[in-house]
Amino acid sequence: MTNREQQILEILRHNPLIPQQELADLLGLSRSAVAGHIMQLTRKGYIQGKGYIIAPDRYAVVIGGANIDLCGHSSNPIVLQDSNPGHLDASAGGVGRNIAENLSRLGSTVEFIGAFGGDSWGQDLKDSCHQCGIGTDHSLYKNDAKTSSYLSILDDQGELLVALNDMQLIESLNANELSKRAGVIDRASVLVLDANLPEDALNYLFTRHGAKPIFVDPVSSIKASKLIPYIDKIDCLKPNSLEAKILAGVDIDADIEPSQLAKSLHDKGVPQVAISLGSQGVLASSPYEQHVVPAIPTQVNNVTGAGDAMMAGLIHSYLNNRNWVESVEFAIGASHLAITVSETINKQLTEQAVLDLLEESPQC
């Protein structure tokens, strides 16, 4: 940061709504010169949002998918190749966006970098982010593009039966676009990625920003393989068993204990691994200890958002300096609250709600 930029930033800390002309008069500069300095401060991540919002000391940058979720929930056991009674819902979704919303609801400051189309769904996504306090000023907006969408079909027990995604728009969030946003990424306390990102974007982020703490959600077994070249640059990984096998280089049909999968990932350079074990809970593993954190028994209404809430719990815990096992316990609590509602995200999710739940649950 230059001396002039430091001077401008100090004035904005005390008066974030100061008009540019008044700021120019104070500094003896032209308004255009002040506008140029403010643009540079924004690009570098020191200013976030309109009204000269100064970046907080600790915040997360989440980069990944944003789409409209279309979810069908069958009322009865699914009959294939036939019409099934049930109910349909549409909501804001996308792995990256969902992680960002859960993280914001837990109380962390979040900047989300995603891709939004110019249609009504794109506006709905932006509105959903703003309503829960997610910053989107550094996202990519393409007015001539169709917003991404994700269709899931759940059985009468709330378990995922099949899903389809139309995520072409995220291919526009490439290395060139992300390089324009290097400032806000550089100043983040933690970088959160999902494997929906195109390969050149992942290459840029791991190469240019690989020294920063990076948390990664593999998203699916199909997309997890994109992470293999960068496995040693991931600080925290949240896979299921199949994704863990792919990333560990193990035959997907092999009968191997999650603890061994975690060890293989540690050997490849990942310090913290949280392997989802379904109804059994999560294996919290580091090079120094392994601990199975059991799931909290409950009536499952929708499993779609469980993983996103869990990842948010891990990130929020990191930002609040919890140790690794405590972080996974907190993440399990956030995930539990997610699956108790029919929506993908529990609007009642807060840090205190998770802490209250853990206090009431003896297995945690």
Mean local confidence (pLDDT), 89-103: 94
Closest CA to 6 of 37, 35, 28: 37
Report the mean per-residue pLDDT for the chain.
Answer: 90
> Does residue 52 register a pLDDT over 80?
no
User: HSE-up of 149 (CA within 13 Å, CB side)?
Assistant: 12
Closest CA to 218 of 159, 261, 260: 261
Letter for the amino acid at 27? L
Give all domains of the chain, ordered by start, each with its CATH number.
1-55 (1.10.10), 57-65+95-143+170-360 (3.40.1190.20)
**pTM to 2 decimals?**
0.81
Q: What percent of the chain has pLDDT over 70?
A: 96
pLDDT of the residue at 49: 63
Output 230 or 2, whichever has higher pLDDT: 230
Place 203 in a pLDDT band, splitting at 50, 70 and 90: very high
Tell whether the torsion through CA atoms of 104, 284, 307 and 65 is positive or negative.
Answer: positive
> Does residue 342 register a pLDDT over 80?
no
Rounded CA Rg of the chain: 21
> Does residue 32 register a pLDDT over 90?
no
> Does residue 66 register a pLDDT over 80?
yes
pLDDT of the residue at 349: 96
Residue whose entry in the numeric block shows the structure tokens 């593999």: 218
Cβ contact 134:107 at 8 Å = no
SS (H, E, C) the chain: CCHHHHHHHHHHHHCCCCCHHHHHHHHCCCHHHHHHHHHHHHHCCCECCCCCCECCCCCEEEECCCEEEEEEEECCCCCCCCCCCEEEEEEEECHHHHHHHHHHHHCCCEEEECEEECCHHHHHHHHHHHHCCCECCCCEEECCCCCCEEEEEECCCCCEEEEEEECHHHHHCCHHHHHCCHHHHHCCCEEEEECCCCHHHHHHHHHHCCCCCEEEECCCHHHHHHHHHHHHHCCEECCEHHHHHHHHCCCCCCCCCHHHHHHHHHHCCCCEEEEECHHHCEEEECCCCEEEECCCCCCCCCCCCHHHHHHHHHHHHHHCCCCHHHHHHHHHHHHHHHHCCCCCCCCCCCHHHHHHHHHHCCCC
> Does residue 127 register a pLDDT over 90?
yes
> Does residue 353 register a pLDDT over 90?
yes
Cβ contact 178:205 at 8 Å = yes
Structure tokens at 92: 């804001």
67-74 and 86-93 strand pairing: antiparallel
Place 300 in a pLDDT band, splitting at 50, 70 and 90: confident
